[in-house]
């Protein structure tokens, strides 16, 4: 009789010592490593730098090719102020999304002391991540790029060099919205500038030579059109995830909700930090997380299978512990003080 990997892993999970709390290094004290959050990923850093350079290129073309040479002073001032204000808010939102802790679970907290402090009841389930040695709260997923478990992780986006989680989703939504707005604004200005140059002398509608002007405007047009489509799709996807209280990973894995959903307008208020106001559009206004950090869930709840994936347009290096997917969750049938009991397998991380 042949045994499947499920049966072999279940034989391992019946051993109560599988949690190995003694092998986990206690997490560092808060503040010992500083409060700065930054992911040292070469691809993500390159994508973030490219994002800033593309915005700066668009600003250069808008100012020095279209607005400054224009004879209409009011038109130039109004469009210059609007475009640069939106570009500033876009870069500020990108900065906050990149440098804000998305909701990382303390690394190495799967210690004996921490498990005992949970005061779990018999029949409750505890999920341990073997990669970062952490007790995973409900709806947390491990990111192989950030090398941490992230609460309410939606996806890892290289363009902001960070995961999108419960603490920085607002900034990511604002980033996509402001980029879409400046892209649309740039397209409209390029259209008007082409019409103006066709009616007038090309040598007078720009301070650059006509061939250079055409090349710069065409490149800006392609950039604006591409990012308008991309960020509009991402913005709509994120708003849909907030309104349905379902992250991109949960949607791809088709997980049955085991949590009380905060949907529609209540979800928007939770994600943006309060009732509707101008602070919703302010990337400098922080959001206070109110997520329950308890890692325990009732034993009757199950986790559906699937791999942690990415939202549209963004990429993520998937967690490489797929072969250990049956050994990452544990059912403690007895109080965890003596670590006795049976362990329950699951097909999801």
> What sign does the CA torsion over 158, 160, 161, 167 have?
negative
Q: Which of 30-34, 69-73, 133-137, 238-242 has the lowest mean pLDDT?
A: 30-34
Choice among 132, 146, 157, 314 that is catalytic: 157
Instruction: Report which DSSP code applies to 129.
Output: E
Nearest-angstrom CA–CA distance, 241 and 176: 14
Half-sphere exposure at residue 177, Cβ-oriented, CA atoms within 13 angstroms: 16
Residue 157 known to be catalytic:
yes
Of the candidates 173, 139, 178, the one whose C-alpha atom is nearest the C-alpha of residue 157 is 173
Q: Assess contact for 248 and 169: CB atoms under 8 A.
A: no
List of E strands, the chain: 124-129, 134-136, 140-143, 148-151, 155-157, 162-164, 329-332
Q: Checking DSSP bridges between strand 148-151 and strand 162-164, what pairing results, if any?
A: unpaired
Residues whose CB falls within 8 Å of the CB of residue 177, separated by 6 or more in sequence, listed in order: 231, 235
Rounded distance between C-alpha atoms, residue 85 and residue 336, angstroms: 55
Buried b (16+ CB within 10 A) or exposed e, 180-205: bbbbbbbbebbeebbebbeeeeeeeb
Model confidence pLDDT, tens digit, residues 190-236? 999 988 888 777 777 888 888 899 999 999 999 999 999 999 999 99
Rounded distance, CA 85 to CA 65, Å? 18
Beta-bridge mates of residue 297: 125
CA dihedral 265→271→272→274, nearest 10 degrees, is 60
Note if the pTM is more than 0.85. Answer: no
> What would the mean pLDDT of 107-122 be, rounded to a whole number?
80
Determine which of 94-108, 204-218, 333-347 has the lowest per-residue pLDDT on average. Answer: 333-347
- Give pLDDT, residue 280: 95
Burial 137-167 (b: 16+ CB within 10 A, else e): bbbbbbbebbebbbbbbbbbbbbbbbbbbbb
What string of DSSP letters covers 102-120?
--BPPTT--SHHHHHHT-P
Tell me: the pLDDT tens digits for 234-283?
999 999 999 999 999 988 888 777 778 887 889 899 899 889 999 999 99
Which pLDDT does position 253 carry in this prediction? Answer: 86
């Amino acid at each position: 009789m042949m045994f499947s990997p499920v049966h072999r892993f279940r034989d391992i999970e019946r051993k109560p010592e599988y949690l190995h709390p003694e092998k986990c290094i206690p997490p560092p004290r808060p503040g010992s490593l500083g409060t700065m959050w930054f992911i040292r990923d070469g691809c993500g850093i390159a994508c973030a730098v490219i994002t800033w350079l593309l915005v700066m290129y668009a600003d250069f073309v808008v100012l020095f090719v279209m607005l400054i040479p224009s004879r209409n002073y009011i038109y130039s001032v109004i469009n210059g102020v609007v475009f640069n204000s939106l570009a500033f808010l876009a870069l500020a939102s990108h900065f906050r999304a990149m440098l804000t802790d998305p909701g990382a679970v303390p690394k190495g907290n799967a210690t004996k002391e921490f498990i005992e402090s949970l005061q779990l009841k018999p029949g409750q389930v505890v999920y341990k991540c073997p990669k970062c040695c952490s007790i995973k709260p409900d709806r947390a997923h491990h990111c192989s790029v950030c090398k941490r478990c992230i609460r309410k992780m939606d996806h890892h986006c290289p363009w902001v060099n960070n995961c999108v989680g419960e603490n920085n989703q607002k900034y990511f939504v604002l980033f996509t919205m402001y980029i879409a707005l400046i892209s649309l604004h740039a397209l409209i200005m390029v259209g008007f500038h082409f019409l103006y140059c066709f009616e007038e002398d090309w040598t007078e509608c720009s301070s650059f030579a006509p061939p250079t002007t055409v090349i710069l405007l065409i490149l800006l047009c392609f950039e604006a059109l591409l990012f308008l489509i991309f960020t509009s799709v991402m913005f709509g996807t994120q708003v849909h995830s907030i309104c349905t209280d379902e992250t991109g990973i949960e949607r791809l894995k088709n997980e049955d909700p085991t949590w009380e959903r905060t949907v529609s307008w209540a979800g928007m208020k939770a994600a943006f930090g309060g009732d509707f106001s101008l602070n919703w559009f302010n990337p400098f206004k922080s959001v206070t997380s109110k997520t329950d950090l308890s890692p325990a869930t009732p034993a009757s709840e199950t986790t559906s299978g699937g791999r942690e994936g990415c939202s549209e347009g963004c990429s993520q290096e998937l967690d490489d512990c797929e072969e250990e997917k049956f050994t990452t969750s544990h059912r403690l049938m007895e109080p965890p003080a003596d670590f006795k009991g049976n362990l329950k397998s699951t097909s999801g991380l």
